[in-house]
Amino acid sequence: MSYRKVNYEDVEQVSDAKHFLSEPLGCRQVGVTFSRCPPGWNSEPHDHVDDEHEEVYVLVSGTAEVRIDQESVPVEEGDAVWIAPEATRQIRNGEEESAFVLISAPEFDSSGSSDEAWNLTGFQG
């Protein structure tokens, strides 16, 4: 089969908000998490220095704040925020529920100097 489908509600919730989807989807190179954040919820501050993963947080509903290296970045529905591996990050939810899709993957060499560089030419079709 050339695809896999999973509903986040069918995946065990961890840390009061997150559903880790990579394993049920069988992902090999990307981490995907759905996070439904209850009012007043804060994630644990963390970075990805050890695994060198960059992340993108996409807010799909509500409003929230992403704290990156002590800087508050307000996000609204539809906003996407790229975060470098070495940056400390934390989701801080406000008074209403919000929902994020979190995507993580190792950094890559986009210069083309490596045989392992990913091809990022966009979607075809």
Residue 116 falls inside a structural domain: no
DSSP per residue, 15-61: TTTEEE-HHHHT-SS-EEEEEEEPTT-BPPPB--TTTTEEEEEEEEE
CATH number for the domain including 72? 2.60.120.10
Residue 120 falls inside a structural domain: no
| Angstrom distance (rounded) from CA 4 to CA 13 | 19
Res. 119 pLDDT band, cuts 50 70 90 = very low
Write out the two tokens for 114.
């490596």
> For residue 63, what are the domain limits?
12-106
* DSSP summary character for residue 8: G
Number of domains in the chain: 1
Question: Sign (positive/negative) of CA torsion 113, 115, 118, 119?
Answer: positive
Q: Which of 88, 97, 8 is nearest to 55 (CA)?
A: 88
Please report the pLDDT score of residue 55 as a whole number: 95
| Angstrom distance (rounded) from CA 57 to CA 75 | 10
| pTM recorded for the entire structure | 0.83
> Which tens digits make up the pLDDT trace of 56-103?
999 999 999 999 999 999 999 999 999 999 999 999 999 999 999 999
SS3 content of the chain, % helix, strand, coil (to 5): 5, 40, 50
Residue 83 falls inside a structural domain: yes
CB atoms < 10 A from the CB of 31, how many?
18
Residue 19's H or E segment, with its range, is: strand 18-20
